[in-house]
Amino acid sequence: MKRFVGFVRKEFYHIFRDKRSLFILFGMPIAQILLFGFAITNEINNVNIAILDQSNDVTSKEIINKIASSKHFSIVDIIQKESSIESIFKKGKVKAVLQFENNFGSNLIKEKQATVQILTDATDPNMANTISSYMSSILKKYQQELNRNMNKDYQIVPQNRMVYNAELKSVYMFVPGVMTVILMLVSAMMTSISITREKEQGTMEILLVSPLKPFQVIIGKVFPYIFLSVINAIVIVLLGIFVFNVPVYGSLFLLGIESVLFIITSLALGILISTISATQQTAMMISLMGLMLPTILLSGFIFPISSMPLPLQVISNIIPAKWFIIIVKGIMLKGIGIGFIFKETTILVLMTLLFIGISVKKYKIRLE
Amino acid sequence: MKDKNVIQVEDLSKMFGDFAAVNSISFHVKAGEIFGFLGANGAGKTTAMKMLIGISSPTSGKATVAGFDVYKEAEFIKKNIGYMSQKFALYDDLTVKENITFFGGIYGLSKKQIDQKRCELVDELGLQEVTNSLVGSLPLGWKQKLAFSVSLLHDPKIVFLDEPTGGVDPITRRQFWEMIYKAAHNGTTIFVTTHYMDEAEYCDRVSIMVNGKIEALDTPKKLKEQYKTDTMNDVFLKLARG
């Protein structure tokens, strides 16, 4: 045990003294989550929109004023007829068009209900989604004010319509996705690099000649990464909850256990990579090309698996990240328990055992 | 203790497929001896050495190191030997002190023992100024001397040196050999491979491997007489050329 502690301490020295490792470990998750969070999704400011007011009455004017005074939108065009909508979108001048139905104001008084159509350019799905929800909330706020002042029960019904890409993805998707990518990156790439570094420097030989058993060497090397990856997972979940208001409906404990499982799967992959690569460069290339790209592209993180061609759908099954994303999404967003993700968990466990098995075999061959 | 064989090798072979990297070699090394293990690149030195230090298992033959069998008791062998490889093998990103603590630790020394050893070692090598510097910042010669001292931390019976002086200047090589003599004088057996034939002259006995076999084994003096030359270099050339 004392030897083990000494070994682990040495590993931490390596990690904390190598600026590159430190950056990948801690800079990357924070940078990525902020990048995905801010640059790619949420907060919108001064988005160009156009108005098509077919009613042109007091109420619609008031709503337009509200929108004009919001910092989120700037009205750059007022169009007169429905046929101009398509051309204005095609020109790319605006991201959204707000269309008031005929007799909007009088409908609201007579029928107690009037419709506004929010048309959004969904070539950027996250943007479109955000625009609709911001717009809807402005409308809703106006409706509440109106009802309070007049003591009535009017309803402004926003109708969302996506132009160009009707199928929208959840904005919450990025937290499970980034978490998966980061855990995979830190665990697999960092371990494979740190093991091959020992090989390259010749220190692995020294360790093998020492009374330490090979499995002690490997466990000693991966242990710090389990620890650091768990911290990373916690940081990502906390950022998700407190910065981006991503809900966690399910059990945090279960999420933790599943994350540790995925970390171990990734570490096993990292060990496997280190047994087949002789240098740090090779290990890094294999990790990036063989793990990172499939994890980002084929796991369902960015591109929905259901809309992939069949061969890719089949391949996606061997990507551990695919199963972990299903698990994390399920726990965080749907609040499901272990019963619903039993299959995915089992698959990850089996994959882990397989990777460890192959590594042990390769390791033995190499020693001979 | 003198005259007792600490390494005993009989008909030891290592096959890679049909190729015999080590072809039925036999020799013994006495306690406290400096044993030079010479041979051209690819002659099988490293393979033979790997079998003796317990990280490669032989195809056939018998061998004991420090009284333990290389097939069954590799774990005990590892506790009783020190090893320093041709590639420099301390951690560049750890300080001198941390390297010593780490390597002392994996050989199971107590904190007290490590502290004591470290003080001795630092005094001996004159490293007081740099105990808290990263090893990577030290000159190569210092690193190599430090690596040798670290391989002796746990007082091994035998220390295996795989081309320990590769790439260092003649003065440092000289100092390095003084350290080897001192360790041998204290009773440690030295098993050393080298490319430098002048270093072969410093050994008590040398063996010369050619194509997986030991072609000559004796004291440098007798070998020179036997091959009628003035230097070990010529002995080596005669043998290696066949």
Give the model's confidence band at A168: pLDDT under 50 very low, under 70 low, under 90 confident, else very high.
very low
Instruction: Indicate which CATH number applies to the domain containing B118.
Output: 3.40.50.300
Average pLDDT over residues A160-185: 70
Confidence at B1, pLDDT banded by 50, 70, 90: very low
pLDDT score for A114: 87
The pLDDT of residue B7 is 94
What burial class does residue B227 get, using C-beta atoms within 10 Å of its C-beta: 0-12 exposed, 13-18 middle, 19+ buried? Answer: middle
Mean pLDDT of all residues belonging to chain A: 82
Check pLDDT > 80 for residue B148: yes
Containing structural domain, residue B235 = 30-54+79-239
Q: Phi first, then psi: what are they for A302, rounded to 5°? A: -105, -45
Location of structure tokens 């200047």: B169
Q: Of B56, B83, B107, which has the smallest distance from its Cβ to A367's Cβ?
A: B56
User: What is d(CA A361, CA A281) in angstroms, rounded to the nearest whole number?
Assistant: 23
Note whether residue B48 is domain-resident: yes
For residue B9, is it within any domain? no
**ipTM of predicted complex:** 0.81
Percent of chain A exceeding pLDDT 70 equals 89
How many angstroms away from the CA of A202 is the closest CA of chain B? 6
Residue identified by tokens 């006495």 is B30
Query: What is the reported pLDDT for A167?
Result: 43
Confidence of residue A154 (pLDDT cuts 50, 70, 90): confident
Is residue A213 within 8 Å of residue A295, measured between CB atoms?
Answer: no
Across the interface, of B78, B90, B102, the residue whose CB is closest to A6 is B102
Closest by CA to A14, choosing from A246, A258, A280, is: A280
**Can you tell me the mean pLDDT for A144-152?**
83
Q: How far apart are CA B130 and CA A2, in angstroms?
A: 27
Low-confidence winner among A20-24, B66-70, B89-93 (lowest mean pLDDT): A20-24
pLDDT at A44 over 80: no
Higher pLDDT, A173 or A99: A99
> Average of pLDDT values for A74-94?
80
pLDDT beyond 80 at A28: no
Look at residue A264 and tell me whether its pLDDT is greater than 90.
yes
Please report the beta strands in chain B, taking only residues with DSSP state E, as ranges in sequence order: 5-16, 19-30, 34-39, 60-65, 68-69, 81-84, 158-162, 189-193, 205-210, 213-218
Q: What angle do CA A66, A70, A71 make, to 5 degrees?
A: 170
Residue B62 belongs to a domain: no
In a domain, B99, yes or no: yes
Q: Which of A18-22, A62-66, B179-183 comes out lowest in average pLDDT? A: A18-22
Among residues B17, B20, B10, the alpha carbon closest in space to that of B43 is found at B20
For residue A164, the model assigns a pLDDT of 57
> Is B19 within the bounds of a domain?
no
Structure token pair of residue A290: 């063989």
Q: At what angle do helices B111-125 and B96-106 cross, to 10 degrees?
A: 140
Is any Cβ of chain B less than 8 angstroms from the Cβ of A14? yes
pLDDT of residue A289: 80
Confidence of residue A134 (pLDDT cuts 50, 70, 90): confident
* Residue B233 located in a structural domain: yes
pLDDT for B42 equals 81
B9-38 pLDDT, tens digit per residue, is 999 999 988 898 999 999 999 999 999 999
Residue B3: pLDDT band with limits 50, 70, 90: low
pLDDT above 90: residue B89: no
Decide if B87 contacts A203 (C-beta within 8 A): no
The two three-digit tokens of residue A5, written as one number: 């502690």
B88 contacts chain A (CB < 8 A): yes
Which tokens sit at B156?
A: 């091994």
For B232, the 3-state DSSP assignment is helix
Give A262's pLDDT tier (boundaries 50, 70, 90): very high
Of A218, A186, A227, A216, which Cα lies nearest the Cα of A199?
A218
Are the Cβ atoms of A210 and B106 closer than 8 angstroms?
A: yes
pLDDT at res. A165? 44
The rounded mean pLDDT for chain B is 89
pTM: 0.69
Interface residue A368 vs chain B (CB under 8 A) = yes
Tell me if B96 is assigned to some domain: yes
Tell me, yes or no, whether B121 lies in a domain. Answer: yes
CA distance B46 to B59: 15
First to last CA, chain A: 28
pLDDT of B225 over the 50 cut: yes
**Segment A114-129 mean pLDDT:** 77
Q: Report chain A residues whose CB lies below 8 A from the CB of B118.
A: none
pLDDT tens, residue by residue, B101-129: 999 999 989 999 999 999 999 998 888 88
Residue B21 is classified by DSSP as E
Q: Determine the average pLDDT of the residues in A323-346.
A: 85
Chain B contact present for A20, CB below 8 A: no
With bands split at pLDDT 50, 70 and 90, how would you rate the model's confidence at A124?
low
Instruction: Kindly report, residue by residue over A211-255, the tens digit of the pLDDT.
Output: 888 888 888 888 999 999 999 899 988 988 888 777 788 899 999
A334 touches chain B (CB under 8 A): no
Residue A363 near chain B (CB below 8 Å): no
Domain total of chain B = 1
Cα(B77)–Cα(B146) distance, integer angstroms: 23
pLDDT number for residue A36: 63
Give kind and range of the element (H or E) at residue A281. helix A280-285
In sequence order, which residues have a C-beta less than 8 Å from that of residue A57 and are 6 or more positions away? A103, A104, A105, A106
DSSP state of A171: G
Q: How many CB atoms lie within 10 A of CB A5?
A: 11
What would the pLDDT profile of A268-278 be if each residue is shown by its tens digit? 999 999 888 88
Residue with tokens 């972990």: A324
